[in-house]
Chain A
């Protein structure tokens, strides 16, 4: 009797700390944020809770009339649609290339591509701001040498978004490449040997053996990258503050500006919930697609 109770309880004591952390730092804040999004909480309400007014859905209604918010949604969509495929394709290509050899050169390349991922984003963004400098930056200096006029990397509203994407892709490739590499090394050699005997060339081997074997890691990388890009924040926050002309503002940065700079906490919470729902929906679609593939 006594021992069977212990048997049952022991596994829970092991998961309990993790559950507790999840509840304290994720679940409870999410619920609180949801409640706040229905109030007009500002700096006055923060200190005196009796001042908080319940205003129903008006934050949400106002959000979808706010041109700055709509523009930040459009910007975020561009970030996701351009950034995510780029990250996956480039990191997968690099992983396959690096996996094709074992000597020192390939090991070094692995380090070269991984280094940006372990460097602090803030440090990277500061350095890239110098590279992108309109008159003194490396990029424009090099371009001038081949006679191409100066590009307003961070000052031209049409270009700035893509300058940030270039930087973010460069930074994200390393980690995902490592995940792909680990998966690649788990693909049994015997499959390739069998394919070779059957006369399959390198391209056919890649298409019919490598890619299907990586299905799960591609799914994993897609989901994590997608969530990461929906929350695109550091780069515009440090490099452009959302400008010029709001062209690089992301939803996450919009939420930060409204919450922490303007102290409109209710409004910001509503914005963050729109983002939260978008991420959940995108992830669910991913899961459904994955299930469908597995069913085949």
Chain B
């Protein structure tokens, strides 16, 4: 009797163990026709309607998995190392170099070259450049973003300016006047948490960041552009550190920070949260430096996962997403701007503020496509911080940064 009991117990515990183990190895028994699509951000409102149409037309069902941007890179790393992931995935333009280098993305050059719908000339060159690595294509541009100047029209008027600053010297002049409105009032935000901010100004000043694999971060153009930015901070024209203000606190009301540079996502944030009338604020193309007013192109691309078992259907989805009407639907659902040039003739993109972005896109380039770029950007922020806080010598700091970055790239 005792033995029977014991045997039963053992069988049960082994059974439990077996169930536990099989539970782990997620058996991929779902129909082969289903594509998995990893989407950073809110895929449900933004792309689901487009996907539904795709399924209706082709009979291929797609499962969207939305992952917050903050966790997206971790998730991609896991997929890259386990070689087990989705069929189709959204890639931030700055992540491309990394995941091309880890061989996680399928080389789609033959589709791009043979298919009109995926022709690179259809897209903004700034976006297209983020999909191309040593002559091969690894993704299709999906949406584009670029940085422009946001400013408070009414407040600029109160200090005597009826237009946004058009040059660097004008930017400083206006900002300086604005900062004299009172205590804790500033004119412009020199962004100390955005890795591309200093590099963007350096390019406007004629600096090249990396030339033929040689870093140029201590060039006189780079140093003098950082000196220009530091002038804002040391003279109290820009806050030294992130003030941790909401947009309503920094840009609404009396606007302690009435001018700042940001991307298209701020349009809806200001509209919804700042409590301003549409006539009180505007956007403008970036002020021109010594060389140009070049902005930073960012955005997202759509790629096929190298280890997908469903590549033909995955490419079909890429093509479908690149259609004009779908790019426009995406814009309406998400406010992310289409990279397809032909989409910009649509009336939904006619508004004055959006057109500023359109013009800025003519003068906008992505950051260098190096797999170490993320680290370089983070290192730059660490170099910038003591400059802003302690007024450290810029030339010395950039000499050291340049040397270290060169070592990093050569490694």
B is a partner of A: yes
B241 close to chain A: CB less than 8 A: yes
Interface residues of B in 370-394 (CB under 8 A from A): 371-372, 374-375, 378, 382, 385-386, 389
- Mark the stretch among B2-10, B28-36, B218-226, B332-340 that contacts chain A: B2-10
For B375, give its contact among A14, A154, A155, A261 (CB under 8 Å): A261
What is the number of residues of chain B that contact chain A, defined by CB distance less than 8 Å? 40
Report the minimum CB–CB distance from A235 to chain B (whole Å): 15
Contact check, A9 vs B10: say whether CB atoms are below 8 A apart.
yes
A54 close to chain B: CB less than 8 A: no
Contact check, B371 vs A134: say whether CB atoms are below 8 A apart.
no
Task: Across the interface, name the chain B residue whose C-beta is closest to A246.
Answer: B382
Given the known inter-chain contacts A17-B17, A46-B77, A244-B389, please indicate yes or no for A136 contacting B10, CB distance below 8 A: no
Contact check, B102 vs A13: say whether CB atoms are below 8 A apart.
no
B83: A residues at CB distance < 8 A:
47
A245 close to chain B: CB less than 8 A: yes
For B385, give its contact among A13, A68, A243 (CB under 8 Å): A243
Contact check, A17 vs B74: say whether CB atoms are below 8 A apart.
no
* Chain B interface main SS type: helix
Task: Across the interface, name the chain B residue whose C-beta is closest to A68.
Answer: B382
Report the minimum CB–CB distance from B281 to chain A (whole Å): 21
B46 close to chain A: CB less than 8 A: no
Task: Across the interface, name the chain A residue whose C-beta is closest to B375.
Answer: A262
Total A-B residue contacts, Cβ distance less than 8 Å: 90
For B374, give its contact among A134, A157, A262 (CB under 8 Å): A262
For B378, give its contact among A13, A42, A155, A261 (CB under 8 Å): A261
For B243, give its contact among A9, A40, A134 (CB under 8 Å): A134
Given the known inter-chain contacts A47-B101, A155-B241, please indicate yes or no for A135 contacting B80, CB distance below 8 A: no
- B residues near A, CB below 8 A? 3, 6-7, 9-10, 13-14, 16-17, 20, 73-74, 77, 80-81, 83, 98-99, 101-104, 184, 241-245, 249, 306, 371-372, 374-375, 378, 382, 385-386, 389, 411
A–B pairs, 8, beta carbons within 8 Å: A6-B3, A17-B16, A42-B371, A44-B371, A46-B81, A47-B306, A135-B184, A136-B245
- A residues near B, CB below 8 A? 3, 6-7, 9-10, 13-14, 16-17, 20, 40, 42-44, 46-48, 68, 129, 133-136, 152, 154-155, 157, 243-246, 257, 260-264
Please name 8 further chain A to chain B contacts, defined as beta carbons within 8 Å, in addition to the given A20-B17, A244-B389, A263-B371, sorted by A numbering. Answer: A3-B3, A43-B77, A43-B102, A47-B102, A47-B104, A134-B244, A136-B249, A155-B242
